[in-house]
Amino acid sequence: MDRGQKYKNEGKDQNEMRRRRDPMDAKLLAIAASDSSHPEEQLAAVKKVRELISLENAPVETLINNGMLPILVECIKPFNSPQLQLEAVWTLTNIASGPSELTHKVATSGAVPILVNLLSAGDFKVADQAIWALGNIIGDGPEKRDFVLGFGLIQPILNLVEAELPISFVRNIAWVIGNISRKWEPVVSQQITMEIQPALKVLLEYTDVQVVRDTIWAINNITEDKDRIQIIVESGIVPKIVSLVGSNVVSIKCAAVNCLGNIVTGTDEQTQAVLDSNILSYFPTLCLHPDMQLRRNIMWFLSNIVAGTVSQIQQVIDAGLMPPIIENLWSGDFVIQREAAYVISNLCSNGSREQVNSIIYELQYFHYNIYIL
């Protein structure tokens, strides 16, 4: 499964996963990890805990039962060294990537407000791991999402996307925004949706495939709620998403068309905002693209356009899209054929007499050529 589609991600060290587990005394580890008077021994103990939790069949419950969570929370506080913070946050990240009961324990340990503050502490390695930990907590569901957001997560995210960050960090931010935008009930508040728009705009300007794809899917999730389509339209993001239909990466093309397809299920004015961004100019060739999912998305998109006004239907006709739409009735898979049929049906239901006559002519012409061949 693509990382962007996963709710939680564990920050495992693959080399450490292959190590044999050494004998562990959880009580002694807890004592060493809590002893700030011996910083080197404390760091070594916390690193050992992190290594243990990175293993398969990790002794998480044993460590938690010996008081490790409050110790880890203490280790991530600002007065500690970045190295100690990093090891402790990494450990919390992996614990929170587990089942809901473990995520809940991390969320209620007092770690969340400290993790949010670490995003602004200036150490990017620690901040990167902190955003990962928060993403895992948010990924547990809408209750945890709103709990984390309640500590003011959005502003640090907005500050971070304006900084020069390693691309791995940016990917984590895009993934976390995707988790915030997940299609849970209840959906994230409109206020948060509005606040996150500047970050979405910045992330769409990256050339990294994972960042762009995850950002588009976040917007896609937002626009599946019709009450939020206008927020996206007013943000000025639509022309950028339209330009990504011209990407060389098929997964980005698919995501962009799907996202725009959500927008054109809205009002005629919202649909026109997409059309005004010259989206139809990409479709004459893409309508017959070898990627079937892309073609399905485009046919679905066009079926929504021709459910609109006469002038919007005319834009589809003027773009020369009727011949490839009709060809999809014959050359596509079942879903493509069904969506192409919806295009024809919606045009006949909503178009003018002249527009309906034109589609009848195109159908007859195509059928004649098929018969001759």
Q: Tell me the pLDDT band of 56, cut-offs 50, 70 and 90.
A: confident
User: pLDDT tens for residues 214-227?
Assistant: 999 999 999 999 99
pLDDT score of 364: 72
For residues 323 and 282, is the Cβ–Cβ distance under 8 A?
A: no
Return mean pLDDT, the chain. 90
Q: Tell me the pLDDT band of 14, cut-offs 50, 70 and 90.
A: very low
Give 44 or 55, the one with higher predicted confidence: 44
φ, ψ for residue 209, nearest 5 deg: -60, -45
For the full predicted model, state whether its pTM sits above 0.75. Answer: yes
Give 18 or 245, the one with higher predicted confidence: 245
User: Tokens in use for 106?
Assistant: 């991390």
Return the amino acid letter for 227: D
Secondary structure in 3-state letters for 301-343: HHHHHCCCCHHHHHHHHHCCCHHHHHHHHHHCCHHHHHHHHHH
Mean pLDDT value of segment 119-144: 94
Q: Tell me the pLDDT band of 120, cut-offs 50, 70 and 90.
A: very high
For residues 12 and 25, is the Cβ–Cβ distance under 8 A?
A: no
CA distances from 58 to 38, 98, 278, 299 (A): 26, 11, 53, 48
Task: Decide if pLDDT at 16 tops 50.
Answer: no
User: Tokens in use for 337?
Assistant: 């054929």
User: From the CB of residue 338, how many other CB atoms can be counted at a distance below 10 Å?
Assistant: 16
User: pLDDT tens for residues 289-298?
Assistant: 999 999 999 9
Distance CA 17, CA 15 (A): 5
pLDDT score of 2: 52
Q: Tell me the pLDDT band of 372, cut-offs 50, 70 and 90.
A: very low
Distance CA 261, CA 264 (A): 5
Least confident stretch, 71-75, 123-127, 184-188, 327-331: 327-331
pLDDT score of 12: 53
